[in-house]
Amino acid sequence: MEFVQPIRSVEKLEHMKAVLRSWFLMVMGINVGLRISDLLALRVRDVQNRSHIVCREKKTGKKKRFPINAELREIINEYIKGKRDDEPLFRSRKTGSNIDRVQAYRILNRAAAEVGLAEIGTHTLRKTFGYHFYKRYKDVALLQQIFNHSAPSITMRYIGINQDIIDQAISEFHL
C-alpha cells in the first residue's frame, strides 16, 4: 500500500475539479472529510433536505454527524436534481449501484495524472479536507475529534503537516 498525500495547492484542487469526470465525488470528499467507504455508501436521501450527514462509520462503527455548509448545500441540491431518494449518490454507470473504492481510485488517479499530481489515492480526499482545515483553523484537537484519531500526533502525521515541517527544515538546513 502506498502512502498518499493531501492536495496542498488550492490551484491544483481547482484544476482537479475541472478535469475530474466525477467532480462531485471530489467536492464531497474534500468538504466533509469522511472515509471513502463511508462517502461511497451515501444515497441521495442521506443528503437531500438535510442539515447534516449522519452515518455509522464502517471502520469504527461509531456514529458520525457532519454539518453540510451553505455552499455545499447548493452544490448537493444541484447535483441531486432529478435523482430518486434511494439512488446511490455516487452511482456506477455500468451497474447502477454505488461505485466501489477501486473505481473511485481510478477516477481520482486519472485526473491526478492529468493535473500532474502523484501520491494520490482514495484517502487523498479526507487528507485534503484535514490539511486545509488545519491550515485555516490551526486546531489539531478539533480535527483529531472530527477524524476520531486517538492522538494529535496521529492527526498531524495523517494530514501531512509533519512532512511539511520536515521538508522545510531539511531544505533550509546546511552546514
Catalytic residue IDs: 35, 59, 123, 126, 149, 158
CA distance 175 to 173: 7
CA distance 43 to 58: 15
Residue 34, C-alpha cell as written in the block: 469522511
CA distance 43 to 87: 6
CA distance 100 to 89: 12
Q: Give 164-171's long-range contacts (Cβ < 8 A, gap of 24+).
A: 164/8
SS3 string of 68-125?
A: CCHHHHHHHHHHHCCCCCCCECCECCCCCCECCHHHHHHHHHHHHHHHCCCCCCCHHH
- Cβ neighbours of residue 105 under 8 Å, at least 6 residues apart? 121, 122
